[in-house]
């Protein structure tokens, strides 16, 4: 907390030379196509018959831990959009997520609606969230940011400035208000389109139906020729 007021200034000083290097290298170096942009990405990196699963609002034992078991069993990698307060409560679960090879996403410290926030306030929140994640997992790579409620406001630009790509979704199935596992499965099966990033929740309440639905849907999708992928870095 003590260092918070100093961090943005240091980052700003670095931003100009880094941007200049990026401009020069960007013309010849295809790897820089991975640099985050202020575009909100909602598709997988592979496209085609692929789906990207993303899970918001955790970590939330026991649902997150059970979900990790399901993903491990099916060899699926996903994105976890972490809620900072929950990271502080359950840092050991964040370590499990990373140990299993999943990708991290910053979902804000307190799940605030940031639509009307000025850039400076957004920046402080995102930095605090990333610091909480890295207190749990030193040096953790956090390539994505997702605005709570999808209330983007100025957040995609601030996130890009901090090295994180804004991550949206193409399909939400309303699992925050659990409608029953069978209904969740139906919504997923009917709603998934080629290259879609799918929004699901492992935290913010009892998410056992989501975990059960995912356990059923992954093998069903695979048997139809779909494969599980990760989101693109830019749209």
In whole angstroms, how close is the CB of 205 to Zn ion at the nearest point? Answer: 11
Dist CA 36 CA 167 (whole Å): 10
Gap between the Cα atoms of 189 and 193, Å rounded: 9
Among 86, 90, 111, 201, the active-site one is 201
Q: Which residue is nearest to Zn ion (CB)?
A: 56
For position 125 contacting Zn ion by CB under 5 A, the verdict is no
| 217 burial level (CB within 10 Å; 0-12, 13-18, 19+) | buried
56 is a contact residue toward Zn ion (CB under 5 A) = yes
Contact 95, 181 (CB under 8 A): no
Q: Report, in Å, the least distance between residue 75 CB and Zn ion.
A: 26
- Catalytic residue selected from 42, 56, 125, 175: 56
- What is the rounded distance in angstroms from the CA atom of residue 1 to the CA atom of residue 42? 33
Using CB under 5 A as the binding rule, whether residue 175 contacts Zn ion is answered as no
Residues 72 and 96: beta-carbon distance below 8 Å: no
How many Å from the N-terminal Cα to the C-terminal Cα in the chain?
A: 34
Q: According to CB under 5 A, which one of 42, 44, 53, 57 is a site residue for Zn ion?
A: 57
Stretch that binds Zn ion, among 2-10, 22-30, 148-156, 209-217 (CB under 5 A): 148-156
| 56 flagged as catalytic | yes
Total residues contacting Zn ion (rule CB under 5 A)?
3
| Nearest CB to Zn ion, comparing residues 42 and 57 | 57
Q: Which residues bind Zn ion (CB under 5 A)?
A: 56-57, 148
Catalytic residues: 56, 201
């Amino acid at each position: 907390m003590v260092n918070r007021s100093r961090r943005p200034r240091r980052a700003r000083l670095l931003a100009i030379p880094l941007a200049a290097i990026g401009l020069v290298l960007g013309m010849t170096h295809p790897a820089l196509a991975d640099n985050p942009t202020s575009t909100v990405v909602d598709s997988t990196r592979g496209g085609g018959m692929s789906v990207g699963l993303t899970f918001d609002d955790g970590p939330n034992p026991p649902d997150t831990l059970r979900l990790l078991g399901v993903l491990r069993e099916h060899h699926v990698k996903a994105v976890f959009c972490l809620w900072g307060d929950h990271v502080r409560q359950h840092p050991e679960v964040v370590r499990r997520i990373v140990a299993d090879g999943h990708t991290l996403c910053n979902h804000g410290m307190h799940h605030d609606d940031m639509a009307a926030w000025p850039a400076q306030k957004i920046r402080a929140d995102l930095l605090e969230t990333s610091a909480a994640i890295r207190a749990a997992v030193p040096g953790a790579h956090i390539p994505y940011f997702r605005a709570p409620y999808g209330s983007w406001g100025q957040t995609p630009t601030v996130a890009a400035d901090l090295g994180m790509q804004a991550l949206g979704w193409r399909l939400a199935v309303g699992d925050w208000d659990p409608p029953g596992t069978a209904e969740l499965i139906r919504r997923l099966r009917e709603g998934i389109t080629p290259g879609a990033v799918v929004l699901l929740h492992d935290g913010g309440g009892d998410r056992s139906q989501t975990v059960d639905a995912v356990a059923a849907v992954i093998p069903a999708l695979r048997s139809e020729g779909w494969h599980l992928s990760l989101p693109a870095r830019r749209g």
